[in-house]
Amino acid sequence: MTRYAIEIVPFGQDFGNPRVVAELAAAAESAGWDGLFIWDHLGFVWGMPAGDPWVMLSAAATVTTRLRLGTSVAPLPRYRPHVLARLLAGIDILSNGRLVLGVGLGGLAQEFSAFGEPEDERTRAEMMEEGLLILEGLMSGRPVAYHGRHYMVDGVSLNPTPVQRPRVPIWIGGDTPPALRRAARWDGWIIGAVNEQQEMTKSPDRLAEQIAYIRQHRRTDAPFEVAMSGCSQTNQRNMVAEYASAGMTWWLETLFGSRGSVEFNKARILEGPPA
């Protein structure tokens, strides 16, 4: 079954405002959408106002009861894993178990280097692998003892824990073979497939090839989600259905300032999913 979410790019004074995002979230739930996902970029580093995704997801949690809420995606190496674990647990409790953690390496090195943080992709990949293990352990509620190259946990248990057990679902972002292999070890793959001109940048055939690659590296039969962002109109059901046939399970309708005003994007939300 394909599910449909809105994906908000929180750039600019309007889309970066959590009150606006809460209004769009409520509209999405009333119009039959299944989820709300938000980008995580420090846009102000390169001169673009950018809202905080965690504040926005918290705001959305208070005005909805059904929407899945997640990041698309959060750069895990930017966060201290133990601090992020507490944040995830809090939002999952606030939303009554509706949070999804979409994570990646971080696509813009400047958002790391501007603060003296590692911008080397290999280092960030190491940090992400360690961070994922720590998050998994802490969200379980069991004592965690970990001594890695980048992080250390000295026999600590997280409390309170997320509503979802054994943890919040983790979807991995990225389009490279290492990212796909990493996704195969977790609960889903989340990928952008649209540019600023609202053109799809990934064909259904290419999506199917990459999903097949992930499946080759899966070591479990547990459910696996494939979330892909794009832009559609309600009369483009056939286009979205082609991606669903290729293996997509979540369509993320991307909303951003260059697509139109908040009012324009809200009107698209109220038209409902391309289902």
The 10 Å Cβ neighbour count of residue 153 is 19
Q: Is the pLDDT of residue 107 over 90?
A: no
Q: Report pLDDT for 57.
A: 98
- Nearest of 128, 116, 112 to residue 77 by alpha carbon: 128
Phi, psi of 252 (to 5 degrees): -105, 105
Burial class (CB in 10 A: 0-12, 13-18, 19+), 138: buried
| Cα 172 versus chain centre, distance | 8
What is the Cα–Cα distance from 157 to 153, expressed in whole angstroms? 10
Give bridge partners of residue 172 from the DSSP assignment.
103, 189
Measure Cα distances from 271 to 6, 30, 33 in Å: 12, 11, 10
Separation of first and last alpha carbons in the chain: 11
Confidence of residue 234 (pLDDT cuts 50, 70, 90): low
Find out whether 82 and 138 touch, Cβ atoms under 8 Å.
yes
Measure Cα distances from 210 to 59, 122, 155, 174, 215 in Å: 34, 22, 38, 11, 9
- Nearest of 94, 103, 96 to residue 40 by alpha carbon: 103
How do residues 158-172 score in pLDDT, each as one tens digit?
999 999 999 999 999
CATH superfamily of 3-271: Luciferase-like domain (3.20.20.30)
How do residues 11-58 score in pLDDT, each as one tens digit?
999 999 999 999 999 999 999 999 999 999 999 999 999 999 999 999
How is residue 162 annotated by DSSP? P
How do residues 108-149 score in pLDDT, each as one tens digit?
999 999 999 999 999 999 999 999 999 999 999 999 999 999
What percent of the chain stands above pLDDT 90? 93
Token representation of residue 267:
């009107």
What is the Cα–Cα distance from 210 to 216, expressed in whole angstroms? 10
> Pseudo-torsion of CA 273, 207, 54, 223, nearest 10°?
90
Average pLDDT of the chain? 96
Burial class (CB in 10 A: 0-12, 13-18, 19+), 222: exposed
Find out whether 172 and 183 touch, Cβ atoms under 8 Å.
yes
What is the Cα–Cα distance from 224 to 68, expressed in whole angstroms? 16
Q: Report pLDDT for 237.
A: 74
Q: Is the pLDDT of residue 236 over 90?
A: no
